[in-house]
Chains A and B, each alone.
Chain A
Amino acid sequence: MDNASNNTIWIIIRRMRVPFLVIIVTFSISILGLTLIPGMDDQGHPYKMTFFDAFYFVSYMASTIGFGEAPYTFTYPQRMWVSACIYLTVIGWFYGIGAIVALVQDKRLAREIDIARFRKKIQEIREPFTIILGYNNVTHQIIDWLNREGIRVVVVDKDEAKVEALDLENFIPEVPSLAADVTTPETLKMAGIHQKNCQALVSLFDDDIKNTKIALLARLLNKRIKLVIKSTTQTQSEHLHNLGVRYIEDPFQFISNRMYLALTAPSLWLLEMWTFGHILKVRGRETLPRGKYIICGYGRMGHALERALKKAGMPYSHIDIKSTDYKEEKQSAVFGDAEDYKALLKAGIKEAAAIIAATKDDLINLTILTTAKKLNPKIYTIGRENTLDDLSIFKAARINRVYILEQILAEFTYLFIARPLAYRFVRLLHTKDEAWGHQLVERMHQTLGENPLHFEIPLDEEHAYALHRELSRGRTIRLGEILRSRAERSQPLPAIVLLCKEDEHRIHLLPTDDLELKPGMKLFIAALEESKTDFEYIVNNYYELEYVLTGKG
């Protein structure tokens, strides 16, 4: 144990020194006096109190219990001394009690106790855990999802009120939290960055410099852990790459990529969305129209969308609105006066196929889209929503597609931490073409229908007991051989293995049936609820495994 964790005890001890001294001195004076003063016993013989008598009497007198006079009724000289002693010792006690009360209320002590508790909780975590810096809507969502997966989370936020709010959430399993400055190495150490089971660190602050600082510190403190760092500019991202950060979250880049995919390769886009929990079917209003696009708002998001449109070869124009300037100039956050109409008409709203409202202000975005619909009822509307706080308004406004930056950040972070293979799959999708994607979607539709689920399973002792044993013995088992129905082995199991990871460098996308399985491989599988259960039976149970392999058992 290091020094800082004993701090509480030391603070208490140091503060209690003087009260202890006062109590000892007052006690010893009283006791000594009582042993020296002559007394009289019940038969009139003179006697002197022994030290034990005196200690006994002072002990109950000083603590103001008061049992009367012992061992015999006191003489007047004794009573005079005891009167003095009562005031002396009672003052001593009160002072001691007062000091303890003051100590309990001490802010510094309370903080040290908090820190000690937090440390203890973290040391007690046995499972892999993730450190999340900053508690807000995004991280709340991430914690929620990770908790459901059984991944432990530790949260540090600068703001005490937020930490208290988190405590009230009552997450199960518990989420240890601490209010501290997140940019200092001490805090990161307290949060357990050195621990073997610390798996990842998430820093999604709006401030890029803060994120970089945290990334640098975390890299230096622990080389192994995964870092999820938000970055919204190109230079920043490059910088982080040089630091060796494997995962950089740029929400604008994500949106740009998705837009490009949706325009050029809808099947791939669908597969990506499916990995994030969408159903495996394009709803009518989700197909992006082809034609002219108008981008309103030309900030980071505007630029990102422009890149996507340019790459996809779509014509576009843009209206440069800065939400802060707009509000200052017009004294309003409502878009749609005569001047704004003119701007929209000038940008070609009448013949445009779609309009994107991408400013930082939700109200302006909403009014842009409603105004645009007034001018061109057939236009396809895309809105940016900045916070997760108020989803209902955007839903009510019947906007065709809404991009919520925070939601996207949360989804990607969750996938990266909890579902590394799914994340890998999404990344690999971007290297494929539409034909490949279309074929896969067709295949999934035929075997699994429109709403398959996906799951990851490592072929290790814990998750695939029987299969792991057989493989470890050197038996050759091919992928196709275990994807058989438990009821009738000639029938295939409705499941598609999308990804198989042998190690960091050998990753098979859509592995074929003759892939030889090895212990420790990880599979990413699309399946139905029942076929998932069946698959888990097969890999865990000897009899089931033997049956699908040989027909016996």
Chain B
Amino acid sequence: MNTEKVISGFFFILAMTINFGFVYGDPANLEYHSGYELFAAIVINLIATILKLGDKTQLGSVLLATSLVADIQLIASATVWAFAVYVMGGMNVESTVAVVSLAAGAFIANIVSVTLFIGDTLKSKR
């Protein structure tokens, strides 16, 4: 058992599941989407990104790229939220959908990342 693999695998998958938890539910209704969940998704995604740093292989670069995409999408999602509340004067349907769909995009990037990770793990002999 490779401890490093366990830790990084844990965070990759956790990033994906928490991200899913936030996205799940009616995209036009903010009551289905918790801010704490988005916060957790951002933090875990950042941690997952850092765990992917420093891997010089081809796969490592692709993993890092997908992770960066997820980060950008999630941070954009949080930024839209803050912008709508403090600058535009409140959430409306349009901004709610934008927040959720940005996070949904990040979720897809996370799926790609986890799929690649699992595929690589299966391919390698022990």
**Chain B residue, CB-CB nearest to A56:** B82
Report whether A17 and B47 are in contact in the complex, using a CB–CB cutoff of 8 Å. Answer: no
Partner of B50, one of A3, A20, A32: A20
Partner of B54, one of A14, A24, A25, A52: A14
Report whether B35 and A51 are in contact in the complex, using a CB–CB cutoff of 8 Å. Answer: yes
- List A441-496 residues whose CB lies under 8 Å from chain B: none
Interface size of B in residues (CB-CB distance below 8 Å): 15
B83 to chain A, nearest CB (A): 9
Q: Contacts A20-B50, A24-B47, A24-B50; is A51 near B78 (CB within 8 Å)?
A: yes
A533 to chain B, nearest CB (A): 58
Q: In the assembled complex, which residues on chain B have CB atoms less than 8 Å from the CB atom of A13?
A: 53-54
Q: In the assembled complex, which residues on chain A have CB atoms less than 8 Å from the CB atom of B46?
A: 24
Q: In the assembled complex, which residues on chain A have CB atoms less than 8 Å from the CB atom of B47?
A: 21, 24-25
Partner of A17, one of B35, B50, B85: B50
Complex Cα spacing A32 to B53, Å? 25
Q: In the assembled complex, which residues on chain A have CB atoms less than 8 Å from the CB atom of B35?
A: 50-51
Complex Cα spacing A79 to B85, Å? 26
- List B41-91 residues whose CB lies under 8 Å from chain A: 43, 46-47, 50-51, 53-54, 56, 78, 82, 85-86
Complex Cα spacing A35 to B47, Å? 21
B74 to chain A, nearest CB (A): 13
A selection of 14 A-B contacts at a CB cut-off of 8 Å is A3-B56, A13-B54, A14-B53, A17-B51, A20-B50, A21-B50, A21-B51, A24-B43, A25-B43, A31-B39, A32-B36, A50-B85, A51-B35, A52-B86
A28 within 8 A of B: yes
Q: In the assembled complex, which residues on chain B have CB atoms less than 8 Å from the CB atom of A16?
A: 53
Q: Contacts A10-B56, A52-B82; is A32 near B51 (CB within 8 Å)?
A: no
- List A1-55 residues whose CB lies under 8 Å from chain B: 3, 10, 13-14, 16-17, 20-21, 24-25, 28, 31-32, 35, 50-52
Complex Cα spacing A51 to B99, Å? 15
Complex Cα spacing A473 to B63, Å? 61
A62 to chain B, nearest CB (A): 15
A293 to chain B, nearest CB (A): 67
Q: In the assembled complex, which residues on chain A have CB atoms less than 8 Å from the CB atom of B53?
A: 13-14, 16-17, 20
* Besides the known contacts A13-B53, A28-B43, A51-B39, 12 further A-B residue pairs in the complex with CB atoms under 8 A apart: A10-B54, A17-B53, A21-B47, A21-B50, A24-B46, A24-B50, A35-B39, A50-B85, A51-B78, A51-B82, A52-B82, A52-B85
- How many Cβ-Cβ contacts under 8 Å join chain A to chain B? 40
**Chain A residue, CB-CB nearest to B83:** A52
B2 to chain A, nearest CB (A): 17
Complex Cα spacing A126 to B117, Å? 44
A350 to chain B, nearest CB (A): 78
Complex Cα spacing A20 to B52, Å? 12
Q: Is the interface of A mostly helix, strand, loop or mixed?
A: helix
**Chain B residue, CB-CB nearest to A32:** B39
Complex Cα spacing A32 to B37, Å? 11
B79 to chain A, nearest CB (A): 9
**Chain B residue, CB-CB nearest to A28:** B43
B85 to chain A, nearest CB (A): 7
Q: In the assembled complex, which residues on chain B have CB atoms less than 8 Å from the CB atom of A20?
A: 50, 53
Q: In the assembled complex, which residues on chain B have CB atoms less than 8 Å from the CB atom of A50?
A: 35, 82, 85
Complex Cα spacing A21 to B53, Å? 11
A35 to chain B, nearest CB (A): 8
Complex Cα spacing A3 to B54, Å? 13
Q: In the assembled complex, which residues on chain B have CB atoms less than 8 Å from the CB atom of A10?
A: 54, 56
Complex Cα spacing A51 to B81, Å? 10
Q: In the assembled complex, which residues on chain A have CB atoms less than 8 Å from the CB atom of B78?
A: 51
Complex Cα spacing A52 to B42, Å? 13
**Chain B residue, CB-CB nearest to A20:** B50
Complex Cα spacing A323 to B110, Å? 77
Complex Cα spacing A50 to B83, Å? 13
**Chain B residue, CB-CB nearest to A15:** B54
Question: Which among B50, B78, B85 has the highest number of chain A CB atoms within 10 Å?
Answer: B50
**Chain B residue, CB-CB nearest to A52:** B82
B86 to chain A, nearest CB (A): 7
Q: In the assembled complex, which residues on chain A have CB atoms less than 8 Å from the CB atom of B54?
A: 10, 13-14, 17
A109 to chain B, nearest CB (A): 14
**Chain B residue, CB-CB nearest to A29:** B43
Report whether B51 and A28 are in contact in the complex, using a CB–CB cutoff of 8 Å. Answer: no
B99 to chain A, nearest CB (A): 12
Q: In the assembled complex, which residues on chain B have CB atoms less than 8 Å from the CB atom of A25?
A: 43, 47
**Chain A residue, CB-CB nearest to B82:** A52
**Chain A residue, CB-CB nearest to B49:** A20
B95 to chain A, nearest CB (A): 14
A211 to chain B, nearest CB (A): 36
Complex Cα spacing A28 to B41, Å? 11
Q: In the assembled complex, which residues on chain B have CB atoms less than 8 Å from the CB atom of A24?
A: 43, 46-47, 50
Complex Cα spacing A52 to B75, Å? 12
5 A-B pairs with the lowest CB-CB distances in the bound complex, closest first: A14-B54, A28-B43, A52-B82, A20-B50, A13-B54
A48 to chain B, nearest CB (A): 11
B80 to chain A, nearest CB (A): 12
Q: In the assembled complex, which residues on chain A have CB atoms less than 8 Å from the CB atom of B56?
A: 3, 10
**Chain B residue, CB-CB nearest to A11:** B54
Complex Cα spacing A3 to B39, Å? 37
Q: Contacts A13-B54, A17-B54, A51-B78; is A28 near B39 (CB within 8 Å)?
A: yes
Complex Cα spacing A35 to B51, Å? 27
Q: In the assembled complex, which residues on chain A have CB atoms less than 8 Å from the CB atom of B43?
A: 24-25, 28
**Chain A residue, CB-CB nearest to B50:** A20
A138 to chain B, nearest CB (A): 41
Question: Which among B51, B54, B85 has the highest number of chain A CB atoms within 10 Å?
Answer: B54
Q: In the assembled complex, which residues on chain B have CB atoms less than 8 Å from the CB atom of A35?
A: 36, 39
**Chain A residue, CB-CB nearest to B56:** A10
A52 to chain B, nearest CB (A): 4
Q: In the assembled complex, which residues on chain B have CB atoms less than 8 Å from the CB atom of A28?
A: 39, 43
Q: In the assembled complex, which residues on chain A have CB atoms less than 8 Å from the CB atom of B51?
A: 17, 21
Complex Cα spacing A21 to B39, Å? 16
Complex Cα spacing A50 to B82, Å? 9
